[in-house]
Amino acid sequence: MKKIIGFALSLMILFLIVPFGSSSAYSGGALDGKVLQIGTSFTTNTSSTDLITDGDEGTSITVAPGQYVWYAFNSGELAKITHYQLKASGTTLDIKYVRLDGTSAVYHSTPISTGVKTSHNSTYNDIVKVGFQNTGSTAINVFEFDLFVIFQETVPAAPSSLIAIGMNDAIQLSWNPVSNATNYSIKRSIIAGGPYEVIATNITGTSYLDSNVVHGETYYYVVSAQNTVGNSGDSNEASAKLITLGRGILTITMSNGLEKEYDLSIPEINAFIDWYDAKDVGSGPAKYKFIKTWNKGPFKTRTEYVIFDKILTFDVDEYDVVTP
């Protein structure tokens, strides 16, 4: 019995000392099970593989001299490399990366101790693509490759569904929120498609009232999002101009008998009616958003939503606006 126990303990120690060859030796990294690209550069791929990210040293690929193998992180993801792990038949493999600004560099150059989880003391931030290149003159078999990274805060996506509504003395903008944005910038032009001029920055809400406008001019707007990492691209373009005459009181009677009144421009009323008609035939969002520019109190903005299936009836009383 003692001999059997001793033999079992010896096996356990052997597996602890020599972990490679098992799938657990290559797990917990950012590339586990991912598909890598193979090509002549970081931008030109000719094939792809997941044989070196499957945790199995029994599978491999052959990397020709000069050939690249790489992985691109998801759109908006930024990574900082802490370690890499590589198992190959040769050492002429340079670990390389591409940063957010498009620059590329060598993370770790030859010689590489294959099969060892290797760290590097330098700081490598804002990485969007990483891989290796065979810098030697002979082909190399690669069995496993993995990266260990810390994901940084990502660049925000561009805002969507920008809407511009002309009123009597200002143009109201609103857009959908971006999850990781800390603030927004407003850009404006008097030409469709720009060039745009930044007219407001550090906007923390998802609406903006542009009162620095004149009658008779059409204004074109885009919005971008920011956080500590950087700036997004521009939103869709939206345009509007001031409305001199024509407003109305939109009175909505809810199914519970409650009446809601909104003093709106005619384009705002038409926008509500268009939404109602579209929803009535089964398309569009279930609720409509009113941005209150009156009776704000201490709030930056006040937004009220009306649910389609709670509307019993509505009517519009138009009137003219007399401007000085």
C-beta separation of 246 from 316 below 8 A = no
Beta strand residue intervals within 211-293, DSSP E: 219-226, 238-240, 247-254, 259-265, 287-292
What local confidence, expressed as pLDDT, does residue 85 receive?
A: 84
What proportion of the chain, given as a percentage, has pLDDT over 70?
83
What local confidence, expressed as pLDDT, does residue 73 receive?
A: 86
What local confidence, expressed as pLDDT, does residue 16 receive?
A: 30
What local confidence, expressed as pLDDT, does residue 217 receive?
A: 92
Q: pLDDT for 182-206, tens place per residue?
A: 999 999 999 999 999 999 999 999 9
Cα→Cα distances 41→55, 64, 152, 276, Å: 25, 12, 25, 53
CA-closest candidate to residue 149, choices 225, 71, 205: 71
* Peptide bond connecting 195 to the previous residue in cis, omega within 30 degrees of 0: yes
pLDDT at 9 over 60: no
Lowest mean pLDDT among 73-77, 140-144, 203-207, 254-258: 73-77
Q: pLDDT for 95-110, tens place per residue?
A: 888 887 888 888 777 5
* Peptide bond connecting 111 to the previous residue in cis, omega within 30 degrees of 0: yes
What local confidence, expressed as pLDDT, does residue 257 receive?
A: 92
What local confidence, expressed as pLDDT, does residue 300 receive?
A: 75
200-228: average pLDDT: 94
Half-sphere exposure of 96 (CA within 13 A, CB side): 19
What local confidence, expressed as pLDDT, does residue 322 receive?
A: 53
The rounded mean pLDDT for the chain is 83
pLDDT at 167 over 80: yes
Domains and CATH numbers, the chain: 24-152 (2.60.120.260), 163-240 (2.60.40.10), 247-319 (no CATH)
Q: pLDDT for 264-323, tens place per residue?
A: 888 889 999 999 999 999 888 899 998 877 666 677 778 889 999 999 999 999 887 654
CB proximity list for 220: less than 8 A, separation 6 or greater: 188, 189, 190, 191, 192, 193, 194, 196, 237, 238, 239
What local confidence, expressed as pLDDT, does residue 295 receive?
A: 66
C-beta separation of 83 from 73 below 8 A = no
pLDDT band at 76 (very low <50, low <70, confident <90, very high): low
Lowest mean pLDDT among 120-129, 143-152, 310-319: 120-129
C-beta separation of 123 from 60 below 8 A = no
pLDDT at 14 over 60: no
Helix (H, G, I), strand (E, B) or coil at 308: helix
How far is 125 from 246, CA to CA, in rounded Å?
Answer: 55
How far is 303 from 75, CA to CA, in rounded Å?
Answer: 32
Q: How far is CA 14 from the centre of its chain?
A: 46
Lowest mean pLDDT among 79-93, 174-188, 231-245: 79-93
How far is 210 from 131, CA to CA, in rounded Å?
Answer: 47
pLDDT at 29 over 50: yes
Q: Please, what's the b/e burial string for 96-119 (b: 16 or more CB within 10 A of its CB; e: otherwise)?
A: bbbbbeeeeeebbeeebebbeeee
pLDDT at 139 over 90: yes
What local confidence, expressed as pLDDT, does residue 115 receive?
A: 61
Q: CA angle, 58 as apex, 55 and 61 as ends, to 5°?
A: 85
How far is 166 from 199, CA to CA, in rounded Å?
Answer: 17
What local confidence, expressed as pLDDT, does residue 120 receive?
A: 59
Q: pLDDT for 53-75, tens place per residue?
A: 998 888 999 999 999 999 998 87
